[in-house]
Amino acid sequence: MAEQRESSPRAGGSPNGPAAPRLTLHRCENSHSFFFPHVSCPLCGANLQPFDDPPDAEIVSRTIVRVSPTGSPFALGLARTASGAQTLCIIEGGSETDPGKDVVITKRDGLYYASPRPRAV
């Protein structure tokens, strides 16, 4: 799985807020990027190498899962970083996390969460 380095310099979020950790993703020589550390690229077969990516992303699609195995509704989405890597994510936020909106990706307990990108003051 992709990792986050807590000590990396911030790339996204508010310029006045605390640093958001960068993501360690995986990319092949043809610039196909992934969160999941496959041995080889699912699209072209080339070897994948880890690289640091800012936690900034855009929501591609989202839904409210109203009938869930746990019984509690939650917002599920698909987010895409600037490098093109995509991940499922739990969405924290309302209309500010609609498709097309910018979010920050964080990782907690092995899952990715998308929250609204803080506005610059």
Partner 1 sequence: MNRIKIKSSCLTPIGRRDEDLVALVLEALRGALLEADISRITDVYIASYAPTELCGLTNPLQRLGHAIQLEFPRLRATFRGIFKTGGDALFSALETIDRQAPDDRGDVVVVGAEKMTHLPPAQVAGLLSQRENPHDRAYGATLPALGALVTRSYMAEYGVPERALHEVAVKNHEHGSRNPKAHFQNTVTVEEVASSPLVCDPLRRLHCAPTSDGAAAVLLSPKDGAVWYRGWGKGTDVPLFQERRDISRFTATAEAAARALERANVVPGDVDLVEIHDAFTSFELINLEEMGFFPMGTTWKKLAEGGLRVNTALAVNTSGGMKAKGHPIGSTGVSASVEIHEQLTGRAGERQHRGARLGMIQSAGGVSNESYVFVIEAIS
Residues in contact with partner 1 by CB under 8 A are: 34-36, 42-43, 60-71, 74, 76-78, 86-90, 99, 110-111
Contacts 24+ apart (CB under 8 A), 17-20: 17/118, 20/55, 20/104, 20/106
**Secondary structure letter of residue 97 according to DSSP:** G
Determine how β-strand 86-91 pairs with β-strand 102-108: unpaired
Minimum distance between the CB of residue 6 and partner 1, rounded to whole angstroms? 22
Which residue number, 13 or 87, has a Cβ lying nearer to partner 1?
87
Which residue number, 67 or 121, has a Cβ lying nearer to partner 1?
67
Which residue number, 1 or 9, has a Cβ lying nearer to partner 1?
1
Residue 28: how many other CB atoms lie within 10 Å: 19
Minimum distance between the CB of residue 7 and partner 1, rounded to whole angstroms? 26
- Residue 96 dihedral angles phi and psi, to the nearest 5°: -70, -5
Structure-token pair, residue 54: 């800012």
Which residue number, 9 or 60, has a Cβ lying nearer to partner 1?
60
Minimum distance between the CB of residue 119 and partner 1, rounded to whole angstroms? 24
Looking at the DSSP assignment, which residues form a beta bridge with residue 63?
76
Minimum distance between the CB of residue 47 and partner 1, rounded to whole angstroms? 16
d(CA 78, CA 61): 5
